[in-house]
Structure 1
Amino acid sequence: MTQLHGGVVPPVCTPLTSQRDLDVPSLERLTAHLLDAGVHGLFVTGSTGEVAYLPDQLRQRALEVVAGVAAGQVPVLAGIIDTTTPRVLEHARAAKALGADALVATAPFYAPTHPSEFPGHFRAIRAAVDLPLLAYDIPASVGSKLPVEVVVELAEDGTLAGLKDSSGDLDGLRAVLERTDRAVFHCYSGSETLADLGLFLGAHGLVPGIGNLDPHGYVRLYHAATRGDWDAARAEQLRLRKLFQLIHVGDGRMGRYSSAIGAFKEGLAALGVIANPVTSEPMIPLDDTERAAVRAHLAEAGLL
């Protein structure tokens, strides 16, 4: 099993055909595109991968394809995100069988689960499947934040191997970093625009959605941070922050998520990495004006 070491771990987009089946050749090209940039891991079926929209069979096939292309070069993390523990356990068992090196799970959602029940959820996953387990803190989607005390408790007893922090709460991330053993517990920042600050606080790695489009940029940022060149890290972050504004191309006509995923996929299509920018239903697709705006952002960032 490939070990977690931090670094840049992009949440891989899930290319779809016009019929919304998995576009396997495009996913193979995208995986190779990320590996060629020197990323340190791959996170399949996360939020950027449209995990909540994908039928189980498509989720599993996407993981199988990415794990096959990666072939042990870097760890492959599988999002096993679902509403409740029994459903998550099914995803966890399937992910291990398909070659995942680690699992990433949120707290339960939709079902009215109290934070006092979160530890039981994560312990059940860890007991069922012998793979490193990362907690995914994304309150915007789950509806509740993972309390620092819960994360620390589960880190101390060995249930959790790490945290993917997409909460936007830098002070909460600092608290987790201060209270866990850095040698065994890995924290990843899920912020595209505060990646340098997360690393400055001591995060082990980054999980940036726009890393699908510019993995080289985040790899440069990470390496600058690890050698203590914070001026270079900040300069790279400013460029990437500007590129990240492409997520707003559809603002006002659709939701932010539809705009962001549509922009990521349009960008990948413009770069020739995936065949087309189809998103899952019921997301609204970008129109021609918005697609042109994405390409303008790419050109300004020096990617086209």
Structure 2
Amino acid sequence: MLKPAGIIPAMITPFDESQNLNESALRQLVRRFIDANVHGLFCLGTNGEFFTLTMEEKLRVAEIVIEEAQGRLPIYVGSGCVGTKETVQLAVRLEQMGADALSIITPYFLTFTQQELIGHFRSVAEATALPIILYNIPARTGNSLLPRTVMELSKVPNIVGIKDSSGNFDNILQVLELCEPDFAVLAGTDSLILPTLMAGGHGAIAATANVFPEVVSSIYDLWMQGKPEEAELSQRKLRALRSAFSLGTLPSVLKEVMNMIGLPAGEPRLPVQSLTSSAKGELRIMMDRYMGEGVIK
């Protein structure tokens, strides 16, 4: 079964002027990631605006990414929905389409007990043979997978890892301590990629890799080569972009930066609006600095 590891970009979903899926742009982004030697692709996550997509749109995004990748790297697809039944239905369809693994976000809107969350994930795992990555992002969902809950779920044969986007490094440390070494712990907060690797984690599902995938991938590659100082230098290069995310509602900053460097991200889907002119000015200063330092060419 797939062992998740490395740097896996958390792909944006590009839209055209009418806020429809830009299929040619999506194919272009997949090819760019492959050329950058990332270790997998993750579509239909938070930065992919899964919450604004219809079921048909989700399936089409997954179909394009799988088709364009042509088996050259693992494709992780977000299939979490608010209800267990819908999540199972999507998971089954994605397995039939050829996804390599699924990322399942916690249910959202209501606050669920840990036992309810365990039941949800077990039901999905029983419905598919695909490897499953738990997705913990409590700031967005209002539900947190506690470390002991993760430990319990890690005993399910096809639940193989977790993307922890809690931003709480202690949470990552506890999961690493409680779970078996082959259970993949992936940072979902880009500022914690190297600390997670140093603690025994396996990599990251990273939003900043949309902008400079080579830089983000080098954090993992350099760490694996026994070059922690060089890996730290790469980690530091993410700071300015990470800090800039506060200039707008997710993923408006990420898409604007990509548009600035000629990548066809388009605008975020409403109700998220594009950035103000002052925010764009701040981003331009940041991007000029990145270009001057050779981080972005």
- The TM-score normalised by the length of structure 2 is 0.94
Please tell me whether residue 208 in structure 1 is matched to residue 197 in structure 2. Answer: no
Q: Give 1:72's aligned amino acid.
A: G
- The CA distance in 2 between the partners of 1:137 and 1:112, in whole Å, is 14
Residue of structure 1 in register with 2:129 after alignment: 130
Q: Give 1:34's aligned amino acid.
A: F
- The CA distance in 2 between the partners of 1:169 and 1:249, in whole Å, is 22
From the superposition, tell whether residues 5 and 89 of structure 1 become closer, same or farther in structure 2 (CA, over 3 Å).
closer
Please tell me whether residue 66 in structure 1 is matched to residue 55 in structure 2. Answer: no
SS in 1 for 2:51: helix
From the superposition, tell whether residues 97 and 281 of structure 1 become closer, same or farther in structure 2 (CA, over 3 Å).
same
What are the Cα deviations for residues 208-257 of structure 1, in whole angstroms up to 9, with x where unaligned? 1111001111111111111232211111111111232221334xxxxxxx
Residue of structure 2 in register with 1:255 after alignment: none
- The CA distance in 2 between the partners of 1:5 and 1:115, in whole Å, is 25
Identity of aligned residues (%): 29
Q: Give 1:272's aligned amino acid.
A: G
Deviation at 1:44, TM superposition (A): 0.6
Q: Give 2:54's aligned amino acid.
A: P
- The CA distance in 2 between the partners of 1:145 and 1:55, in whole Å, is 25
**Does the 8 A contact of 1:196 with 1:234 survive in 2?**
yes
- The CA distance in 1 between the partners of 2:260 and 2:156, in whole Å, is 46
- The CA distance in 2 between the partners of 1:208 and 1:144, in whole Å, is 21
**Structure 1: where are the runs of 5+ without partners?**
251-257
From the superposition, tell whether residues 246 and 77 of structure 1 become closer, same or farther in structure 2 (CA, over 3 Å).
same
Q: Give 1:264's aligned amino acid.
A: L
Deviation at 1:112, TM superposition (A): 4.3
What are the Cα deviations for residues 78-114 of structure 1, in whole angstroms up to 9, with x where unaligned? 1112112111112111211222111111222223421
Please tell me whether residue 285 in structure 1 is matched to residue 284 in structure 2. Answer: no
Residue of structure 2 in register with 1:224 after alignment: 222
Residue of structure 2 in register with 1:197 after alignment: 195
What are the Cα deviations for residues 242-299 of structure 1, in whole angstroms up to 9, with x where unaligned? 232221334xxxxxxx2x411211122222221x521111012113333343233222
- The CA distance in 2 between the partners of 1:231 and 1:7, in whole Å, is 18
Number of equivalent positions? 293
**Does the 8 A contact of 2:208 with 2:216 survive in 1?**
no
**Does the 8 A contact of 1:33 with 1:273 survive in 2?**
no
Residue of structure 2 in register with 1:263 after alignment: 253
Q: Give 1:271's aligned amino acid.
A: I
SS in 1 for 2:159: coil
Once the two structures are overlaid, the 10-residue window that deviates more, 164-173 or 285-294, is 285-294
From the superposition, tell whether residues 248 and 117 of structure 1 become closer, same or farther in structure 2 (CA, over 3 Å).
closer
Once the two structures are overlaid, the 10-residue window that deviates more, 38-47 or 201-210, is 201-210
**Does the 8 A contact of 1:174 with 1:201 survive in 2?**
yes
- The CA distance in 2 between the partners of 1:33 and 1:238, in whole Å, is 23
Residue of structure 2 in register with 1:246 after alignment: 244
- The CA distance in 1 between the partners of 2:100 and 2:121, in whole Å, is 17
Once the two structures are overlaid, the 10-residue window that deviates more, 129-138 or 279-288, is 279-288
Deviation at 1:23, TM superposition (A): 0.1
Please tell me whether residue 161 in structure 1 is matched to residue 151 in structure 2. Answer: no
Mapping for residues 1-304 of structure 1, pairs under 5 Å: 3-183=2-182, 185-250=183-248, 258=249, 260-274=250-264, 277-302=266-291, 303-304=296-297
**Does the 8 A contact of 2:110 with 2:142 survive in 1?**
no
